[in-house]
């Protein structure tokens, strides 16, 4: 009896919780269920918007598509047409629209392969075809506005690995078209304004050589094609013997819940080297940038 009482006391002193290796499930080789965990909220992702200046170029995504296009061209009357003109002739035919949807539409910036374009609305494939000029020129300009996606799979464009952009708008024009639509300041001759506007456009385009995905670049690209006041100011600067010497983009002190950029244009007098600055504010919080404040004198703080 004394020995049985001691064994009972020892069992009572042992903890009631058994180790995992002592549980029936563990003994049978079945793993214990994982303890309940708090649900992890999904990661918050912010859309990466694109407002880029470049050119649209068609590419064959595969050998099969290339051969299919060649067969269709072979059935058409293409005498006297270049390869590019023949391709455009085929793609503009409604009966061959399936080929336009199969093509890889590449967006290049200064000749560098930057994005693969995908229309959000399938009917916007017409905008891509319109960007295929029959006679390309160095003055050709394409503006793409959309949302940047992931890197394209290898089969999307013949193993070309660049980001995709789902675009909502695509503008195609020439530098001459842009300058023609700019309002000419009073007292300025058409020839004088054209020369100044073309010089400013080319100057700013050199500054704008970017992928158009950063807020700073989107603000500047927007102003180049949508804000005539910067060209009018350049005309006034030339009349004052000054010239555009630099462009700077920085976050505005007024930025709070929205992303607002200050775009600062510097002009230097050719005689005195006196520098004068003007700035304009652009909101780039969403896909379509817009003007917050008009061009005004900028004072360094």
Q: Calculate what percentage of the chain has a pLDDT beyond 90.
A: 57
Whether the per-residue pLDDT at 65 is higher than 80: the answer is: yes
Q: What is the pTM of this model?
A: 0.79
Whether the per-residue pLDDT at 217 is higher than 80: the answer is: yes
**Same domain (yes/no): 276, 162:** no
Lowest mean pLDDT among 64-68, 113-117, 174-178, 203-207: 203-207
123-160 pLDDT, tens per residue? 999 999 999 999 988 889 999 999 999 999 999 998 99
Q: Which of 174, 181, 75 has the alpha carbon at shortest distance from 131?
A: 174
**Same domain (yes/no): 289, 216:** yes
pLDDT at position 286: 95
Q: Which residues of 112-132 are buried (b: 16+ CB within 10 A; e: fewer)?
A: ebbbbbbbeeeebbbbbbebb
Q: Which of 161, 237, 138, 160 has the alpha carbon at shortest distance from 197?
A: 237
Average pLDDT over residues 41-52: 68
Q: Which helix (H) or strand (E) holds 59?
A: strand 48-59
pLDDT bracket for residue 208 (50, 70, 90): low
Q: Which helix (H) or strand (E) holds 150?
A: strand 140-151
CA distance 84 to 81: 8
Q: Which residues contact 87 (CB under 8 A, 6 or more apart)?
A: 58, 69, 73, 132
pLDDT bracket for residue 204 (50, 70, 90): confident
Whether the per-residue pLDDT at 42 is higher than 50: the answer is: no
Whether the per-residue pLDDT at 215 is higher than 90: the answer is: yes
- Tell me the DSSP string of 223-290: HHHH-THHHHHHHHHHHTTEEEEEEEEEE-TT-SSS-EEEEEEEEEETTT--EEEEEEEEE-SSSS-E
Question: Could you tell me if residue 100 is inside a domain?
Answer: yes
Whether the per-residue pLDDT at 10 is higher than 50: the answer is: no
pLDDT at position 146: 97
pLDDT at position 24: 43
Q: Which of 68, 110, 66, 63 has the alpha carbon at shortest distance from 205?
A: 110
Question: Could you tell me if residue 18 is inside a domain?
Answer: no
Out of 139, 154, 174, pick the residue that ends a domain: 174
**Same domain (yes/no): 198, 285:** yes
Question: Could you tell me if residue 79 is inside a domain?
Answer: yes
**Same domain (yes/no): 192, 229:** yes
pLDDT at position 164: 96
How many structural domains is the chain composed of? 2
**Same domain (yes/no): 105, 216:** no
Residue 246 sits at the vertex; the CA angle it makes with 243 and 248, to the nearest 5 degrees, is 145
Question: Could you tell me if residue 95 is inside a domain?
Answer: yes
Greater model confidence, 46 or 84: 84
Whether the per-residue pLDDT at 73 is higher than 80: the answer is: yes
**Same domain (yes/no): 109, 74:** yes
Out of 153, 174, 195, pick the residue that ends a domain: 174
CA distance 154 to 162: 9
**Same domain (yes/no): 112, 78:** yes
Tokens 């054209």, residue? 194
Whether the per-residue pLDDT at 13 is higher than 80: the answer is: no
Give the rounded distance of the alpha carbon of 45 from its chain centre: 17
**Same domain (yes/no): 137, 188:** no
Average pLDDT over residues 281-288: 96
What phi-psi label fits residue 292: left (phi over 0), alpha (psi between -120 and 50 degrees) or beta? alpha
CB atoms within 10 A of CB 102: 14
pLDDT at position 27: 42
pLDDT at position 189: 81
Inter-residue contact 218 to 251 (CB < 8 Å): no
Question: Could you tell me if residue 2 is inside a domain?
Answer: no
**Same domain (yes/no): 234, 253:** yes
pLDDT at position 227: 93
Inter-residue contact 225 to 171 (CB < 8 Å): yes
Out of 174, 190, 213, pick the residue that ends a domain: 174
Greater model confidence, 33 or 85: 85
Question: Could you tell me if residue 5 is inside a domain?
Answer: no
**Same domain (yes/no): 211, 144:** no
CA distance 92 to 81: 15
Question: Could you tell me if residue 17 is inside a domain?
Answer: no
**Same domain (yes/no): 202, 129:** no
Q: Calculate what percentage of the chain has a pLDDT beyond 70.
A: 84
Question: Could you tell me if residue 198 is inside a domain?
Answer: yes
225-235 pLDDT, tens per residue? 999 999 888 88
Residue 84's domain comprises 46-174
**Same domain (yes/no): 144, 216:** no
């Amino acid at each position: 009896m004394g020995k049985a009482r001691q064994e009972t006391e020892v069992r009572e002193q042992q903890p009631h919780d058994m180790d995992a290796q002592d549980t029936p499930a563990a003994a049978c080789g079945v793993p214990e269920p994982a303890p309940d965990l708090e649900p992890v909220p999904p990661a918050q992702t912010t859309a990466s918007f694109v407002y880029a200046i470049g050119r649209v170029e068609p590419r064959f995504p595969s050998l099969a598509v290339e051969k299919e296009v060649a067969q269709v061209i072979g059935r058409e009357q293409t005498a006297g047409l270049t390869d590019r003109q023949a391709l455009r002739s085929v793609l503009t035919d409604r009966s061959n629209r399936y080929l336009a949807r199969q093509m890889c539409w590449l967006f290049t910036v200064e000749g560098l392969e930057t994005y693969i374009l995908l229309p959000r609305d399938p009917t916007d494939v017409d905008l891509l075809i319109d960007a295929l000029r029959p006679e390309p020129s160095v003055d050709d300009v394409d503006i793409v506005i959309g949302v940047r996606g992931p890197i394209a799979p290898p089969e999307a464009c013949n193993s070309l690995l660049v980001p995709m952009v789902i675009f909502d708008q695509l503008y195609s024009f020439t530098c001459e078209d842009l300058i023609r639509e700019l309002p000419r300041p009073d007292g300025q001759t058409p020839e004088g304004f054209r020369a100044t506007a073309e010089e400013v456009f080319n100057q700013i385009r050199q500054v704008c050589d970017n992928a158009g995905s950063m807020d700073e670049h989107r603000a500047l690209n927007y102003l180049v094609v949508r804000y005539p006041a910067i060209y009018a100011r350049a005309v006034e600067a030339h009349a004052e013997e000054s010239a555009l010497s630099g462009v700077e983009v920085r976050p505005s002190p007024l930025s709070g819940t929205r992303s607002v950029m200050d775009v600062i244009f510097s002009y230097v007098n050719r005689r005195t080297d006196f520098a004068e600055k003007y700035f304009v504010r652009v909101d780039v919080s969403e896909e379509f940038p817009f003007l917050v404040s008009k061009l005004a004198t900028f004072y360094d703080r």
